[in-house]
Amino acid sequence: MDQKTMKLKRIIADADAVMIGAGAGLSTAAGFVYSGERFDRYFGDFGRKYGFRDMYSGGFYPYETQEEFWAFFSRNIWVNRYMDAPESTYDNLFRLVKDKDYFVLTTNVDHCFQKAGFDKKRLFYTQGDYGLFQCSGPCCQKTWDNEEMVRQMILSQGFVIGERNELSLPEGRTAAMRIPTELLPKCSNCGRPLTTNLRADDKFVEDEGWQKAAAAYEAWLTAHQHQKVLFLEIGVGYNTPGIIKYNFWQQVYRNENASYACLNMEESPVPEAIRERSIVISGDSSRAIRELIS
* Structure confidence by residue, pLDDT tens digits, 146-157: 999 999 999 999
Q: Indicate the domain borders of the chain.
A: 1-31+87-126+204-294
Q: Is the pLDDT of residue 1 over 80?
A: no
The residues near 80 (Cβ < 8 Å, ≥ 6 apart) are 32, 55, 110, 130
pLDDT attached to residue 83: 95
* Reported confidence tier of residue 179, pLDDT bands at 50, 70, 90: very high
- According to DSSP, the residues that pair with 280 across neighbouring strands are 262
- What band does 194 get if pLDDT is binned at 50, 70 and 90? very high
- Give residue 268's pLDDT: 84
Q: For the domain 1-31+87-126+204-294, what is the CATH code? A: 3.40.50.1220
Burial of 246 (0-12, 13-18, 19+ CB in 10 A): middle
Q: State the pTM of this model.
A: 0.94
Strand, coil or helix: what is 124?
strand
In the three-class reduction of DSSP (H, G, I as helix; E, B as strand; rest coil), residue 167 is classed as strand
CB atoms inside a 10 Å sphere around CB 93: 31
User: Strand pairing of 167-168 and 229-234?
Assistant: unpaired
Contacts of 36 (CB under 8 A, 6+ apart): none
The pLDDT confidence band at residue 266, using thresholds 50, 70 and 90, is confident
- Cα–Cα distance measured from residue 115 to residue 111, given in angstroms and rounded to the nearest whole number: 6
